[in-house]
Homo-oligomer: A and B are copies of this chain.
Amino acid sequence: MDNFSESVNCLKCKRSSKCFKKLIPSELEFINQNKTQILYRKGENICKHGAFASYVLYISDGLVRLYLENPNNKNINLKILKTSEFIGLSSIYGDNIYNYSTVALKDSVICLIEKDSFRKLLADNGHFASEIIKWYCENEKQLFNKIQNLGNKQMHGRLADALLYLCNQDLLNEQIFSHLSRKDIAGFAGLSTESTVRLLTELKNENIIDITGKEIKILNPVLLKDISKRG
């Protein structure tokens, strides 16, 4: 990872998250004084599960995969993070350790914000804190959904969920599949790579999805959602 030469001033940042809009100029300047920008190259780990977490990370510009590591190299992918999203928020309090790993799917500029500074802003500014809590509300919902999938559904439903997630509106402009291997998709579905490949072929043969090289498109979202629902 390199230092990123043209570090942007937080007060002028065009990619600031909604929560930063709740800060008054002096608070933004405070963050600006207590952050660093770093460029991570495609494939580099931005944080590792279990590592000491000194900073809250913020994706100034990039695309990141968030996952849980597994001893036998069979990772579980949780989500794709885009520009203007946080990484490792939960290290501000508690164990001071990252709860998951993240890797850059393409070259990504990451802001490292001092944890102490972040904490101070939360305590000083309830509106800022409220926005962070909003984020946690949505986050919790996603995690419960993931638990529901892994715990209750079998292969077909799990893969359907993964595809619906990866093809959703939010990621539409990211050409997400060009950055993902079959193993990555398997990680999102919580399946082995081989099972994933087999099921993808099935779905293709049933004209539920279309596969062109790495690109996957959903042809029949109604049916796919039905598969997801039935598990």
On A, residues with C-beta under 8 Å from B are 68, 70-71, 74, 76, 78, 89-95, 99-100, 119, 122-130, 132-134, 136-141, 143-144, 146-148, 150-152, 190, 231
Contacts and interface: CB of A to CB of B under 8 A. Distances in A.
Contacts of A138: 93-94
A130 to B, nearest CB: 5
B146 A147 contact: yes
A133 B134 contact: no
B143 A92 contact: no
A166 to B, nearest CB: 17
A70 B152 contact: yes
Nearest to A119: B130
B147 A90 contact: no
Given A68-B151, A95-B141, A146-B147, 14 more contacts: A68-B152, A76-B147, A76-B151, A78-B144, A91-B137, A92-B133, A92-B137, A93-B133, A100-B144, A123-B126, A126-B129, A129-B130, A136-B136, A143-B143
A136 B126 contact: no
A127 B120 CA distance: 10
Nearest to A76: B151
A141 B128 CA distance: 22
A178 to B, nearest CB: 25
18 contacts: A68-B147, A68-B151, A70-B151, A90-B137, A90-B141, A92-B133, A93-B134, A122-B130, A123-B126, A129-B129, A129-B133, A133-B133, A133-B136, A136-B136, A143-B144, A146-B147, A150-B150, A150-B190
